[in-house]
Structure 1
Amino acid sequence: MPIKIPNDLPARVELEREGLMVMSEADAVRQDIRPMRIGLLNLMPQKQKTETQLARLIGATPLQIELTLVTTGSYVPTNVSAHHLSTFYRTWDEVKSQKFDGFIVTGAPVETLPFEKVLYWQELEMVMDWTLTHVHSTLDICWGAQAALHHFHRVPKHELPEKMFGVYPHRVLDRTASLLRGFSDELAIPVSRHTETRRADVEKVPGLEVLIESDEAGVCLVQDKAKRHIYMLNHLEYDAWTLRDEYQRDVDQGLPIEPPKYYFPENDPSRDPPNTWRGHAHLFIGNWINDAYQTTPFDTDLIGMS
């Protein structure tokens, strides 16, 4: 089944080029079907890249998905055109009366700031509380995961002496977890963080389960069944070129940065990096959506009621 996104969203061209079925809004209206409703609170500066990366994974599942792009109302991003925001995004205040089967909160380039110093922190706290009553399953990514862990459980983030940057080997800790159906015992996952969430802090909170971790990069995936939140601290959604672009950006700005570890062939930035995580990215998002589909109420008014 296809994914329904706004008709003129730039991501549509790339997704159709890749062979993904993308449904027009007019066609979706004609179908007598209850689509899975997923909201994407996109806090990343390069919004169009993030839209494409996540829509690619969401749209590859066999269910019909209706994707709603959401932005903050208390802070207006400056890295994206006002036209793009006004055309394709709705503020959280505009959608907060709606119910969603799934909701994604992305990372943001603010991880070295104290949470309370982030300009839209107060609004984000309201969003996180709102997910408990208006969303069936929430996926928090990178800083979004750290923010939710801090908000709900006061789990701290710790600044690293240098950026954790590369495609690190990880291992699955619970092979019975439905989120990890089909996963290899070991897998490579892109990491791009200046801070970390420590397992010792997570284990202090009853009900939190670490599902994936890395000897070098630490905690990666945490499940919170009671609050129906999934905390993904790394970036399975990244394209093959994303870390290369981040590396080149830092080099151009004269920042002290080493090439991403385990990424470029023979650690040579002039060589094209392979995407070694794509299959697990599709599995992860597919499993998340399937779990939500199997358990979400058919009547959307009942979402968040139990």
Structure 2
Amino acid sequence: MPIRIPENLPAQNVLLGENIFTMDSQRAASQDIRPMEVAILNLMPNKIETEVQLLRLLSNTPLQINVDLIRINDLTPKHTPQSHMDAFYHDFSDVVEKRYDGLIVTGAPLALLDYEDVNYWDTMKTILEWANRHVQSTLYLCWAAHAAMYHFHGIQRKLREEKLSGVFRHRVNDPLNELLRGFDSEFYAPHSRYGYIDPADYNSIPGLSVIAESDEAGAYVVASDDKRMVFITGHPEYDPETLNDEYVRDLNADLEPKIPCNYYPDDDPGKPPVVRWRAHGSLLFTNWINYYVYQTTPYDLNQLVEKDQRKR
């Protein structure tokens, strides 16, 4: 089944070229079903690239999904045309009264900033609280996962001296958790971050569990028992070349980055990277949509119950 996205969104042509079915509003209106309402708060600098990555992962499901792209009001992107933002994004203030089955909050390149120093932190806190009242299940990626843990539970991330970059082997801690249904006992996933929270800190929060982790990268998938919050510390959405692009960018900025681990054959950046994470990344998002969103959300979104995720 398709995802419904704004007409003429650039991602549409990319997805159609990959034989991924999308539809516009006119065709979606003829479908006599209740589609899932999913919002994406896109905090990444290159909005268009991230849109393609996330929409690709949302597409592998039999459900029809209406997608709203959300921006923080008055936040001018540095790497995305303003015309694109004006054409395809909703200001948060425009959707503040709307309710959603699912919300995805992306990472952001804010690794070394204190949360309180982020120029939109007050708005971010407002959105986190809004999600408790207006969203059935929220999926936080990378920086957003750590930010949500700080806001709701007061747990501060720690910072590595060197950036964690590469594709790491993970193990499934809870094979019966529906979010990991169909996963191999070991699988790979990309990471690109400085921050981390110890698995023990996640597990210390009543109702939270680390359900997948890595000896090298730490906690990867953390889920609430009520399925209404998922924290993913890596980047299952990354394209094959994303880590390479980041590595080259950091090289050009004279940051002396380490070669991403387990990414290039023989650790040779001149060779095409080995892609070994996309199947499990797709399955993770499909399971989230099916088991954490579709199977739990009320038919009438006005019946959403506020999440109980306050600091304990």
TM-score range, shorter chain: over 0.9
Q: Work out the CA distance in 2 between the residues paired with 1:48 and 1:251.
A: 23
Matches within 5 A, 1:1-40: 1-40=1-40
The share of aligned pairs that are identical, in percent, is 43
Shift of residue 284, structure 1, vs aligned partner:
0.4
Code of the aligned partner of 2:6: P
Q: What residue in structure 1 maps to residue 103 of structure 2?
A: 103
Q: What residue in structure 2 maps to residue 295 of structure 1?
A: 296
Deviation digits for residues 61-81 of structure 1, max 9, x if unmatched?
110010100010153222211
Code of the aligned partner of 2:103: F
Q: What residue in structure 2 maps to residue 142 of structure 1?
A: 142
Matches within 5 A, 1:186-205: 186-205=186-205
Count of aligned pairs between the two proteins: 306
Shift of residue 109, structure 1, vs aligned partner:
0.3
Deviates more, 1:141-150 or 1:296-305: 296-305
The 3-state SS of whatever aligns with 2:179 is: helix
TM-score by length of 2: 0.96
Code of the aligned partner of 1:82: Q
Q: Work out the CA distance in 2 between the residues paired with 1:9 and 1:303.
A: 30
Q: What stretches of structure 2 of length at least 5 have no aligned partner?
A: 308-312
Shift of residue 226, structure 1, vs aligned partner:
4.8
Deviation digits for residues 47-95 of structure 1, max 9, x if unmatched?
1010000000101111001010001015322221110110000111111
Q: What residue in structure 2 maps to residue 208 of structure 1?
A: 208
The 3-state SS of whatever aligns with 1:83 is: helix
Q: Work out the CA distance in 2 between the residues paired with 1:279 and 1:304.
A: 33
**Are 1:257 and 2:294 matched, yes or no?**
no
TM-score by length of 1: 0.97
Q: Which runs of 4+ in 1 moved over 4 A?
A: none
Shift of residue 20, structure 1, vs aligned partner:
0.4
The 3-state SS of whatever aligns with 2:29 is: helix
Q: Work out the CA distance in 1 between the residues paired with 2:85 and 2:4.
A: 18
Code of the aligned partner of 2:252: D
Deviates more, 1:129-138 or 1:221-230: 221-230
Deviation digits for residues 8-55 of structure 1, max 9, x if unmatched?
111001100000011011101122221101000000001101000000
Shift of residue 181, structure 1, vs aligned partner:
0.2
Q: Work out the CA distance in 1 between the residues paired with 2:207 and 2:302.
A: 27
Shift of residue 112, structure 1, vs aligned partner:
1.1
